[in-house]
Chain A
Amino acid sequence: MIALQARRSRRTELIAVFGLRIAAGFVILAMVALLGYLSFEGTKTFYVDKFPLWSFLFSPDFSPDANHPGGIVFIVGTLAVTVFAIAVGGPFGVAVGVFLAEVAPHRMTQILKPAIEVMVGIPSVVYGWLGLTLLVPLIRTHTSSPSGFGLAAAGIVLSIMILPTVITLSEDAFRSVPSALKEGSLALGATRWQTITRVLLPSASSGIAVALILGVARAVGETLAIQMVIGNSVQFPKGLFAPTATLTTEIVTDMPGATAGSLLEHSLFSMAFLLLLIAMVLIVFVRFALRRRT
């Protein structure tokens, strides 16, 4: 009787495990499909429309109607906005991460951590709307910018949006430093700040690198919040307050109106493919940074 029971449950188990394996395989399938479809469609610009890759990447002349979708304006835009965001949000996020890991009393943590979770939950379109209704008019009144749209607005909004990512990952990195190291430093007469800067920060450096890289990934991929405040004008960012565009905002601005099969549509897919490649490169960086942690 027991033997029969055992056999039956073993059979259930085998079937179940097979199902689980399929589910796990689905993840791989999704990734492969994504890569496949996007590489196929994203390269049409080059081998169907015969537009040279070099020009796509480096020509400042974006005129798809004239068969010349040069994309460097958007690449530079993405770069500029990302650099702004990580330059502001990066150090701020790491600092708050240190605060949470080392300085904050329990009561403060109980307020701050849920606050950060709420920040993560706020949809990017709401951040964009906030930027549109709050930040852009502010910039318009207080600076030389005629419209308020531009790099500064997008950069500020983006800095705020990547804060939760950088904060939580930095905090994890600091917490994972063995407390024996902290004790050793304090036992030698160091102040807490000296311990943080001379021992904790170097020890947690690979974790912080991961935090920053993922912050960058978030910034590169953000679309709507930026699109609502950046001005969407196809020109290089001339300073902080002139309207410009990024790879993501361009896709969202022009894709709804693009005809299927047109050069414009193909070039937009090429931009998407480029974004995908950038994301994968960042993953490789993250793995590299993680491996450095011996």
Chain B
Amino acid sequence: MTEMSAQAVFNAAADKIVAEDVDVFYGTFQAIKHASLTMKAQHVTALIGPSGCGKTTFLRALNRMHDLTPGARVEGSILLDGEDIYGADADPVVIRHRIGMVFQRPNPFPKTIYENVVYGPRIHGEGNKAKLDAIAERALRQAALWDEVKDRLQRSALDLSGGQQQRLCIARAVALDPEVILMDEPASALDPIATSKVEDLIGELTEQFTVVIVTHSMQQAARISDFTAFFHLGEIVEVGATNQIFTHPKEKRTEDYITGRFG
């Protein structure tokens, strides 16, 4: 993909989430400084950077997870389809319905596989068994897990392997039919085979969802993302098409990180 058409792709795709001048504070400590980033619909945006640079902090601002941390404060604007998710009548519960999250370590509930997947629809009011069954199958197919578990939906989710548990968590997030899926280093706790399955899955997910993924592996970012943002010390240093960032980075800091000079 040449730089010209990459730019054309960027311009053609719709803006799903637009973050502008975002600051995140933990008490008096400022973890994110003036971060601005446009995440395009139905594309994968990767957040890379050395550990402690703030990429996870930024990610968690996108679905208002910082609301749960006493003393945390988010400033600036984050627009979902043009509406500020921190606005006066924005509701975190609704936002988390539309923006789902998959965590670094798989965290299935100690329930059956079925109950894990339908947890989201249940708490949002869906009670019809037939509908829930259909949702469960749809979500598990989308997470490429259906064939492996279709005969044991009533077994405990904790019996699954690590990679399967993570795909279950993806199914759980997808069951709510969100628009965006946030992923915080989703494969870092998994073995290489499970990792590649999850990466393949991410590619399929973009047909329907917008994906924002935090990863500490540059190779992973290069493999699966369309756009990449490089974070350092709480700031976004450079943003661009993944190809361009990794072959012709514009900033020196980006180049130093990519060539392994630090991080």
Contact = CB atoms under 8 A, between A and B. Distances in A.
Chains A and B share a contact (CB less than 8 Å) = yes
Interface of A: 178, 180-181, 183-191, 194, 198-199, 202-203, 294
Contact of A189 (B97, B110, B158): B97
Interface residues of B, number: 28
Given A183-B65, A183-B68, A188 B107 contact: no
Most buried by B among A183, A185, A188, A191: A188
B120 A202 contact: no
Which 9 pairs across A and B sit closest by C-beta, in order of nearness? A189-B96, A180-B107, A187-B101, A189-B97, A184-B107, A188-B120, A190-B123, A189-B93, A194-B123
Given A202-B111, A203-B110, A189 B123 contact: yes
B107 A181 contact: yes
Contacts of A178: 107
A182 B9 CA distance: 39
Interface string B91-108: 011111100110101011
Contact of B120 (A181, A189, A199): A189
A199 B109 contact: yes
Interface in B159-196: 169, 172-173, 176
A181 B110 CA distance: 9
Contacts of A181: 107, 109-110
A16 B226 CA distance: 68
A186 B69 CA distance: 12
A263 to B, nearest CB: 54
B96 A183 contact: no
B232 to A, nearest CB: 26
A64 B223 CA distance: 87
B150 interface: no
B119 A185 contact: yes
Interface in B74-103: 92-97, 100-101, 103
Contacts of B123: 185, 188-191, 194, 198
Given A188-B96, A189-B96, A189-B124, 19 more contacts: A178-B107, A181-B109, A183-B103, A184-B107, A184-B169, A185-B119, A187-B101, A187-B173, A188-B123, A188-B172, A188-B176, A189-B93, A189-B123, A189-B176, A190-B119, A190-B123, A202-B110, A202-B111, A294-B158
Contacts of A180: 103, 105, 107
A188 B182 CA distance: 12
B119 A198 contact: yes
A203 B109 contact: yes
A190 B91 CA distance: 12
Given A194-B123, A198-B123, A186 B107 contact: no
B15 to A, nearest CB: 23
B63 interface: yes
Contacts of B111: 202
Contacts of A187: 63, 65, 96, 100-101, 103, 173
A188 B123 CA distance: 9
A186 B101 CA distance: 10
Contacts of B173: 187-188
B68 A186 contact: yes
Contacts of A184: 103, 107-109, 169, 172
Contacts of B124: 189
Contacts of A190: 93, 119, 123
A187 B120 CA distance: 10
A245 B92 CA distance: 56
B181 to A, nearest CB: 11
A189 to B, nearest CB: 4
A183 B176 CA distance: 16
A108 to B, nearest CB: 14
Contacts of B107: 178, 180-181, 183-184
A183 B107 CA distance: 9
A194 B105 CA distance: 22
Interface in B94-152: 94-97, 100-101, 103, 105, 107-111, 119-120, 122-124
